[in-house]
Structure 1
Amino acid sequence: MSVQVAARWVVLDIEGTLTATSQVHVVLYDYARPRLGSWIREHGDDPVVVEAVEQVKAEAGLGADADTDAVVAVLHSWMDADRKATPLKTLQGLIWSQGYARGELTTDYFADVVPALRDWRSRGARLAVFSSGSVAAQVASFSHTTSGDLRELFAGHFDTVNAGPKKQRASYEAIAGQLGAQPGQTVFFSDVPAELDGAAAAGWQAVGLARAGEPFADADFGSHPVVSSFDEVELEVVA
């Protein structure tokens, strides 16, 4: 069954929506995990890294003099728990950006994704991303894909730093404000029902992705319309 959407702005989640969860939990996590310690040690004069390390210590209750090994142990535990902690996402994003730039990482999307995004963009829709992964990681992931460099498709990137938590109404209000988008002419696609709730509370349209084999394939999406792929979405682009 298809879902009809009339929108000017299309905002997209990534994990479980554009890419398989394994792209993050296996490919990207496995790449970052052994590199966290060396990255922190080798970039000790980078203000972004320094701030991220301080945030880890504060959130984990570590002392100010805790060494890098202690910080890395916390980061690994957060990865094991799939915790969306901002300092973890910041450090992962830096490492992944380098991996993509070196050609050591490539993003693979569900088969329906890139054709749909290119079609929507060609018809005048504006595309943006809202992911728990850092903006730097998002941009890097779209730069090296099995379908080429897709960065030009997107007009905005948002994460938990420049927008806020993905399940809160205020985050979607902030995104709409930054994009200059009308809430009623904006649609959010995600595989997580609680994120759709947040978008809908802000006046957005919200559509669930229940992809076979993904963690939320059998989730209760409540009143939100649900599709199993973008092939089932009929988008009318609003001028």
Structure 2
Amino acid sequence: MNYRAIITDIEGTTSRISFVTEILFPYAAKHLPDFIRREQHTPAVASELHQVRILSGEPTADTERCITLLLQWLAADQKATPLKTLQGMIWADGYQNGAFQGHIYPDVAAKLADWQRQGIKLYVYSSGSVAAQQLLFKHSDFGDLTPLFSGYFDTRIGAKREVSAYAAILQQLQIPPRQVLFLSDVTAELDAAGQLGIATVQLVRDGQSAGKHPTAHDFYQLQEMMQ
């Protein structure tokens, strides 16, 4: 089938899960305390610390308490929006300092470019902040891939396992759900999108358990399924 738009997850779909768990998360955990202490009075960071206090139900939490909460959320891999936003700020330093590059599978870089040339609109939907998504693709193993994408979505539009998030995305895209393909390695996310009639494919790169959705081991196999 010919799709007008493809929305892709990142972790486990376009990029190794271990890139996030073994490189990005530890880097953020190591540098978060000093970053917060140094930047706490800048408007961008102060705004996120305010959101930490609201989300935690601790409106009077001082900076050190906010740091403790953020580290706890990071260790638990909680999809808290202020944490994701602050992580993105910290990772920006890492990318720009050359501490790491964004891991992208070779098949992903090749097929995304092909699909864009075919006129398919490409979007990212990930738990990581939009800024973090853009950093990964801008500083990828294959150079700057951000020109390939028409837009990015994060938890500000809704949780990835909630149907309402995909309804909001469809509202923005203004494309019928059957003409939209969503790619993820997480069955629950695909379930939510599928409830609206969005086409789904599960990527099973790292031994994930397959669910009821069509599966592909890489984007080359996905391309064959689309023909």
TM-score (norm 2): 0.92
Name the CA distance, whole Å, in 2 between partners of 1:74 and 1:236: 44
- Counterpart of 1:56 in structure 2 is 52
Bigger relative CO (Cα 8 Å, ≥ 6 apart): 1
Structure 2 counterpart SS, 1:129: strand
| Equivalent of residue 84 in structure 1, options 79, 84, 93 | 79
- Counterpart of 1:187 in structure 2 is 181
Post-superposition offset of 1:99: 2.0
Name the CA distance, whole Å, in 2 between partners of 1:53 and 1:201: 35
Instruction: Compute the RMSD of aligned alpha carbons.
Output: 1.7
Structure 2 counterpart SS, 1:14: coil
Name the CA distance, whole Å, in 1 between partners of 2:168 and 2:135: 23
What aligned pairs does 1:1-239 form with structure 2 within 5 A after superposition? 5-64=1-60, 66-161=61-156, 163-213=157-207, 217-219=208-210, 221-222=211-212, 224-233=213-222, 234=224
Whether the aligned pair in 2 keeps the contact of 1:101 and 1:140 (CA below 8 Å) is: no
Identity of aligned residues (%): 42
Structure 1 counterpart SS, 2:201: strand
Please list every run of 5 or more consecutive structure 1 residues that lacks an aligned counterpart in the other structure: none
Structure 2 counterpart SS, 1:127: strand
1:74-120 deviation per Cα after TM superposition (whole angstroms, max 9, x unaligned): 11111111111111101001111232233323111223211111111
Please list every run of 5 or more consecutive structure 2 residues that lacks an aligned counterpart in the other structure: none
Whether the aligned pair in 1 keeps the contact of 2:103 and 2:136 (CA below 8 Å) is: no
Name the CA distance, whole Å, in 1 between partners of 2:49 and 2:206: 37
TM-score (norm 1): 0.88
Post-superposition offset of 1:236: 5.1
Name the CA distance, whole Å, in 2 between partners of 1:206 and 1:146: 27
Post-superposition offset of 1:185: 0.4
Bigger strand fraction: 1
Bigger helix fraction: 2
